[in-house]
């Protein structure tokens, strides 16, 4: 008898607990064994955290069986593997998603209930792994799950940050940041691999000598070395059929302590080398679109890129013996330019270590690597000062110059003008000499992709125009997607259950089968049940709002939601200004039958992004006034929820009626939150930007609320000169709002507080808030009108769910596999 069984027998007598049956019984026994022998707790005294750990370890055992089977199978097949290089993996919690994919959600619930533990309560205690900033990091996490699902053998490579994205606190309406400590209770999902460690060099010099055939041989002698140690996390695909690996690198010092210094009494100095080395994997940069210019960031980029390339080359040689076949067996996908130094590092490995010729090495590098771009904003394109690269990575700088010389010669031969040469060059001569990482990634890749149809077209016209001329056909589009396992099944079990009852199980394996729902869109009985699920999700969010903000909101109101990173181009400001206009209108026209609305906001601003922080403060200032104004009669509430992360998104998104996707057209590369909302039955108010354009094509123009200038119109207006004053003059409601904000109506204790925000809008308005305000406001009133006809609203919402299947990241991954990686995929299920 297990000690755990004995303890349980005692507990069982004390209270009448439901009996577990069948699978749940054996799973309960596994949980109890973990609790006893791995956690070291008697069930009688175990706390919630202990149960969470025990359950996670029990689930992990089941996953590991499949993991080894997958890994063995992949090895035996001898085929190609994908290596997804990303400085960010915004994975969130893994327990429920893992249970769901393993088909163990019900089993685990029953097993725990039989020992008096509530799965939902302990699942909430899991730390949210926030190893990313926003969409780019979350996309990497969705892709990992989809690659396991559709049978793409893949490794995700990144950094095991000790501190993920900062925790956001809202104090008196202002954002403050504090460190996030996701590893505080340990991490049950990871396996440290101390034996898998690589040396990563920095600094030093390059020694050139003559090889046996008279050619130059280069040996880089780094001045410093850091160790990269692997930590592996299994990534389970749908139905647990395949399990891939997320391998995150942790930095360690080769000499943990200087004993000489320590013995001489310098106890702190004895640790400085170690602290410096290990700082590389200490913290995620909260950069979000503007790259951090620090040396540490470049060290992070090279650290994980070099470790990952060393690892995959070692794996390749072990299995295939021959470096020349690398591109047939390995596809390296660069998630933005953060790992772009891979181009130079792989060249260095091939030339300096494997003695390959330049031409062969470059062909092999290009055939192996491909690159995804996530932004066109010029200020967001990564570049590094030449002197910094020269000092930190001298051999790579040589290689970059050599690549550049050949690319420019090729361009010249193809007829490039001086201006084109300057644009194609990896070295930017315009702003002090800098290495353009986008250009390096582009020339070192066989395919370069954007993340929505519009974005990929704009890439060809803007940042990569000349590179596209010199290398026609290299740019391709891969519209983003989201995993329906996490974003529908796990986050919205109520809707997933209703869909199953209505259209059967097919959509679970193939999200495009959601179209089977179309015939039910007008069915009153189905509409009722659909609305009931939404209502329950809204009641849950209302509870969260009450608990975190002490604000009561009515689940019957229209829940209007904008959650995403705080950024001027995403235009949370447009939303809050329109909210103020509505507030004014409700007070001036109390007789009208206003639609009760709850405006929900959440999102982090980069710590140094002052204007974004002022927008957060403005939202909170407005909330304070609106939420307590009796004249509003509860028709309008404003809630800013602190610390937006994946776990909070899982509560907010299923509860939304209206999804705000209102970026200045041409500026949001794709968006992925837009897809999550629509899949969960929210209607979208949005501009023709990013993937909104394709969402309109799929759900139908009648089922999405598009307003505002197009990307071409935005460009034209900027070219001819913006005129915000004219826009303000033309719309009295807007003028009134700006007057109120600017004169301190919402900040009576500090009337000047929002002056800067208003002045910026009045004098420059780069993001065209005043240009789009009027059409946005008009569209909101049309939305009010539709809300008044629930059957019509519900029909549109249901059609959104039915038609969003194409935005599954399974489809995206199949597209990458077919058109970039050259890999087969399998049917799911
Ligand atoms: C993080 C660090 C730096 Cl240095 C630059 C950018 C980022 C970042 O987080 N970018 C990001 O999230 N970009 C987003 O990528 C999504 C996935 O492709 C897109 O949907 C979204 O439009 C884009 O803004």
- What is the 455 CA–ligand 1 centroid distance (Å)? 13
Q: Which residue has the tokens 């993996």?
A: 89
DSSP sequence for 423-448: HH-SEE-SSSSEEEHHHHHHHT-S-E
Q: How many CB atoms lie within 10 A of CB 16?
A: 7
CA 828 remoteness from chain centre: 24
Question: Does residue 255 share a domain with residue 132?
Answer: yes
Q: How many CB atoms lie within 10 A of CB 149?
A: 29
In the chain, how many domains are there?
2
Structure confidence at residue 8 as a pLDDT band (50, 70, 90): low
Ligand 1 pocket residue status of 481, Cβ below 6 Å: no
Ligand 1 pocket residue status of 670, Cβ below 6 Å: yes
Ligand 1 pocket residue status of 668, Cβ below 6 Å: yes
Ligand 1 pocket residue status of 598, Cβ below 6 Å: no
Question: Does residue 502 share a domain with residue 392?
Answer: no
Question: Does residue 408 share a domain with residue 297?
Answer: yes
Question: Does residue 560 share a domain with residue 429?
Answer: no
Ligand 1 pocket residue status of 310, Cβ below 6 Å: no
Is 599 annotated in the active site?
no
- The pair phi, psi for residue 683, each rounded to 5°, is -90, 150
β-strand partners of 559: 598
Question: Does residue 494 share a domain with residue 459?
Answer: no
Q: How far apart are the first and last CA of the chain?
A: 39
Please, what is the Cα angle at 543 between 538 and 544, to 5 degrees? 95
State residue 288's pLDDT score: 67
Rounded-to-integer distance, Cα 278 and Cα 224, Å: 13
Q: Say if 319 falls within a structural domain.
A: yes
Is 624 annotated in the active site?
no
Q: Which tokens sit at 190? A: 């990871």
For 568-621, write each residue's pLDDT tens digit.
999 999 999 999 999 999 999 999 999 999 999 999 999 999 999 999 999 999
Question: Does residue 547 share a domain with residue 495?
Answer: yes
User: What does the pLDDT average to over 517-538?
Assistant: 98
Are the C-beta atoms of 81 and 331 separated by less than 8 Å?
yes
Q: Say if 683 falls within a structural domain.
A: yes
User: What does the pLDDT average to over 335-340?
Assistant: 98
- What is the 139 CA–ligand 1 centroid distance (Å)? 9
Question: Does residue 365 share a domain with residue 222?
Answer: yes
User: What does the pLDDT average to over 439-461?
Assistant: 98
Pairs from 782-791 (Cβ < 8 Å, separation ≥ 24): 782/705, 783/558, 783/658, 783/683, 783/685, 783/705, 784/558, 784/594, 784/595, 787/558, 787/595, 787/657, 788/593, 788/595, 790/527, 790/531, 791/522, 791/524, 791/527
Q: Which tokens sit at 191? A: 């396996």
Give the structural domain span for 143.
Answer: 70-480+814-821
Is 374 annotated in the active site?
yes
Rounded-to-integer distance, Cα 531 and Cα 687, Å: 27
Rounded-to-integer distance, Cα 66 and Cα 64, Å: 5
Residue 196, H or E segment = strand 191-202
Ligand 1 pocket residue status of 374, Cβ below 6 Å: yes
Q: Say if 586 falls within a structural domain.
A: no
Is 564 annotated in the active site?
yes
Q: Which tokens sit at 650? A: 């899982």
Q: Classify 360 as helix, strand or coil.
A: helix
Structure confidence at residue 19 as a pLDDT band (50, 70, 90): confident
- What is the 132 CA–ligand 1 centroid distance (Å)? 10
Protein residue with least CA distance to atom 11, ligand 1: 136
Question: Does residue 429 share a domain with residue 531?
Answer: no
Rounded-to-integer distance, Cα 686 and Cα 690, Å: 10
Q: Say if 598 falls within a structural domain.
A: no
Is 672 annotated in the active site?
yes
State residue 5's pLDDT score: 72
User: What does the pLDDT average to over 809-827?
Assistant: 95
Structure confidence at residue 828 as a pLDDT band (50, 70, 90): confident
Question: Does residue 413 share a domain with residue 314?
Answer: yes
Report whether pLDDT(710) > 80: yes
State residue 379's pLDDT score: 83
Q: Say if 624 falls within a structural domain.
A: no
Q: Say if 686 falls within a structural domain.
A: yes
Q: Say if 36 falls within a structural domain.
A: no
State residue 762's pLDDT score: 98
Q: How many CB atoms lie within 10 A of CB 786?
A: 15
Question: Does residue 505 share a domain with residue 370?
Answer: no
Structure confidence at residue 376 as a pLDDT band (50, 70, 90): very high
For 390-429, write each residue's pLDDT tens digit.
999 999 999 999 999 999 999 999 899 999 999 999 999 9
Is 320 annotated in the active site?
no
Rounded-to-integer distance, Cα 746 and Cα 580, Å: 10
Are the C-beta atoms of 302 and 406 separated by less than 8 Å?
no
R_g of the chain computed on alpha carbons = 28
Structure confidence at residue 14 as a pLDDT band (50, 70, 90): low
Q: Say if 28 falls within a structural domain.
A: no
Q: Which residue has the tokens 């204007």?
A: 611
User: What does the pLDDT average to over 4-24?
Assistant: 74
Protein residue with least CA distance to atom 8, ligand 1: 288
Question: Does residue 698 share a domain with residue 650?
Answer: yes
Q: Which residue has the higher pLDDT, 430 or 710?
A: 710
Question: Does residue 347 share a domain with residue 455?
Answer: yes
CATH number for 406: 3.40.50.2000
- What is the 32 CA–ligand 1 centroid distance (Å)? 42
Helix/strand number for the chain, H first, E second? 35, 24
Ligand 1 pocket residue status of 706, Cβ below 6 Å: no
ipTM of this predicted structure:
0.99
- What is the 134 CA–ligand 1 centroid distance (Å)? 6
- The pair phi, psi for residue 164, each rounded to 5°, is -80, -155
Q: Which residue has the tokens 């001569």?
A: 429
């Amino acid at each position: 008898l297990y000690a755990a069984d004995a303890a349980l027998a005692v507990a069982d007598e004390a209270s009448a607990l439901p009996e577990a049956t069948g699978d749940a019984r054996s799973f309960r026994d596994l949980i109890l064994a973990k609790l006893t022998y791995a956690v070291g707790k008697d069930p009688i005294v175990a706390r919630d955290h202990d149960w969470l750990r025990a359950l996670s370890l029990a689930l992990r055992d089941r996953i590991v069986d499949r993991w080894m089977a997958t890994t063995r199978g992949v090895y035996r097949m001898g085929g190609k593997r994908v290596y997804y290089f990303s400085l960010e993996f915004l994975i969130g919690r893994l327990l429920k998603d893992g249970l769901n994919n393993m088909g163990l959600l019900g089993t685990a619930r029953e097993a725990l209930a039989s020992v008096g533990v509530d799965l939902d309560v302990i699942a909430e205690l899991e730390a949210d792994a926030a190893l990313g900033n926003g969409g780019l990091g979350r996309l990497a996490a969705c892709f990992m799950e989809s690659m396991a699902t559709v049978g793409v053998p893949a490794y995700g490579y990144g950094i095991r940050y000790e501190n993920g994205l900062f925790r956001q606190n809202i104090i008196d309406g202002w954002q403050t940041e504090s460190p996030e400590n996701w590893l505080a209770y340990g991490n049950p999902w990871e396996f440290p691999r101390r034996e898998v460690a690589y040396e990563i060099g920095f600094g030093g010099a390059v020694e050139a000598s003559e090889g046996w055939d008279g050619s130059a041989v280069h040996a880089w002698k780094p001045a410093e070395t850091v160790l990269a140690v692997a930590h592996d996390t299994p990534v389970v695909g749908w139905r647990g059929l395949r399990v891939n690996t997320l391998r995150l690198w942790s930095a360690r010092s080769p000499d943990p302590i200087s004993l000489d210094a320590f013995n001489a009494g310098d106890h702190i100095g004895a640790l400085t080398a170690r602290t410096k080395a290990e700082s590389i994997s200490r913290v995620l940069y909260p950069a979000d679109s503007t790259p951090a210019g620090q040396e540490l960031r470049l060290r992070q980029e090279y650290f994980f890129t070099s470790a990952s390339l060393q690892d995959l080359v070692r794996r390749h040689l072990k299995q295939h013996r021959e470096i020349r076949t690398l591109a047939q067996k390995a596809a390296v996908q660069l998630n933005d330019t953060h790992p772009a130094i891979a181009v130079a590092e792989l060249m260095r490995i091939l030339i300096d270590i494997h003695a390959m010729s330049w031409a062969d090495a470059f062909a092999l590098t290009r055939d192996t690597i491909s690159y995804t771009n996530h932004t066109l904003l010029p200020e967001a394109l990564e570049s590094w000062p030449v002197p910094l690269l020269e000092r930190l990575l001298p051999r790579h700088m040589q290689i970059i110059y050599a690549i550049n010389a050949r690319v420019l010669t090729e361009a010249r031969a193809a007829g490039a003008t001086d201006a084109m040469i300057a644009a194609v060059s990896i070295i930017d001569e315009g702003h002090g000499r800098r290495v353009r990482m986008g250009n390096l990634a582009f020339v070192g890749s066989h395919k370069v992709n954007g993340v929505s149809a519009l974005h990929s077209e704009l890439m060809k016209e803007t940042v990569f125009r000349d590179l596209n001329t010199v290398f026609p056909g290299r740019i391709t589009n891969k519209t983003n997607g989201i995993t329906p396992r996490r974003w529908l099944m796990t986050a919205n079990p109520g809707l997933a259950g209703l869909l199953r009852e209505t259209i059967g199980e097919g959509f679970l394996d193939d999200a495009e089968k959601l179209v089977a729902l179309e015939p039910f869109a007008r069915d009153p009985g189905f509409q009722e049940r659909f609305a009931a699920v939404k209502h329950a999700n809204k009641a849950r969010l209302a509870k969260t709002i009450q608990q975190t903000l002490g604000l009561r909101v009515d689940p019957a109101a229209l829940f209007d939601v904008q959650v995403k990173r705080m950024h001027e181009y995403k235009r949370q400001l447009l939303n809050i200004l329109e909210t103020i206009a509505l507030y004014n209108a409700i007070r001036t026209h109390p007789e009208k039958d206003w639609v009760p609305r709850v405006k929900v906001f959440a999102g982090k601003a980069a710590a140094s992004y002052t204007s974004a922080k002022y927008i957060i403060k403005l939202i909170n200032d407005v909330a304070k006034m609106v939420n307590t104004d009796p004249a509003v009669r509860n028709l309008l509430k404003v809630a800013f929820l602190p610390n937006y992360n994946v776990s909070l998104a899982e509560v907010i998104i299923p509860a939304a009626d209206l999804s705000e996707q209102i970026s200045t057209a041409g500026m949001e590369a794709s968006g992925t939150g837009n897809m999550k909302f629509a899949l969960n039955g929210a209607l979208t108010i949005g501009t023709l930007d990013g993937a909104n354009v394709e969402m309109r094509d799929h759900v139908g123009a009648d089922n999405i609320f598009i307003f505002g200038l197009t990307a071409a119109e935005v460009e034209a207006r900027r070219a001819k000169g913006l005129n915000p004053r004219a826009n303000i003059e033309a719309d009295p409601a807007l003028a009134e709002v700006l007057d109120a904000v600017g004169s301190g109506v919402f900040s009576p204790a500090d009337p000047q507080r929002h002056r800067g925000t208003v002045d910026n809008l009045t004098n420059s308005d780069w993001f065209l808030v005043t240009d789009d305000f009027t059409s946005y406001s008009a569209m909101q009133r049309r939305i009010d009108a539709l809300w008044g006809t629930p059957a019509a609203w519900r029909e549109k919402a249901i059609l959104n769910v039915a038609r969003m299947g194409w935005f599954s990241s399974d489809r995206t991954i199949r597209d990458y596999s077919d058109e970039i990686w050259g890999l087969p995929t399998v049917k799911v299920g």
